[in-house]
Copies of this chain bind each other. A is one copy, B any other.
Amino acid sequence: MSIDLSELEALDLWRRAIVSSVRLDAPDLTARQMSLLLTVYLTPPPHTVRGLAQTLKVSKPAITRAIDRLSDMDLARRKVDEADRRSVLIQRTVRGSVFLREYGELIVAAARGLKNAKAKGALA
């Protein structure tokens, strides 16, 4: 199982996946919101507002707003850190797990479509 791909293939993979998500009318997350969501689900906790702001190099209010939005959609949730009540931990939800699993399937499907197109010579 390898993941080598040329730039053009990479872009076409990206296109196929993102066009699919737009067509499916998936929650229209911004790049920042998506990067926040993926970071919370795929990198080791704990995840705090300040830590995420540093990781993504965006302002704190941007993180707070992104969490607001993800919370509204029940894709993530806040929990006060009992060890340091100034901090807020951002945690996963069931709905968020389901959403990301489906998103992963969508990317995998895009990769399959790209592979088939290549086999047919549709991509030169």
- Starting from the known contacts A3-B111, A23-B56, 13 additional A-B residue pairs (CB-CB under 8 Å) come to A3-B9, A3-B114, A10-B104, A10-B108, A14-B17, A14-B34, A15-B43, A19-B56, A22-B57, A28-B31, A28-B32, A30-B30, A31-B34
Q: At the interface, is chain A mostly helix, strand, loop or mixed?
A: helix
Residues of B within 8 A of A57 (CB): 22-23, 25
Contact of A111 with B4 at beta-carbon distance under 8 Å, contacts A42-B12, A55-B19, A104-B10 already known: yes
Within A6-54, the residues touching B (CB, 8 Å) are 6-15, 17-19, 21-23, 25, 28-32, 34-35, 38-39, 41-43
The complex places the Cα of A55 from the Cα of B18 at a distance, in Å, of: 12
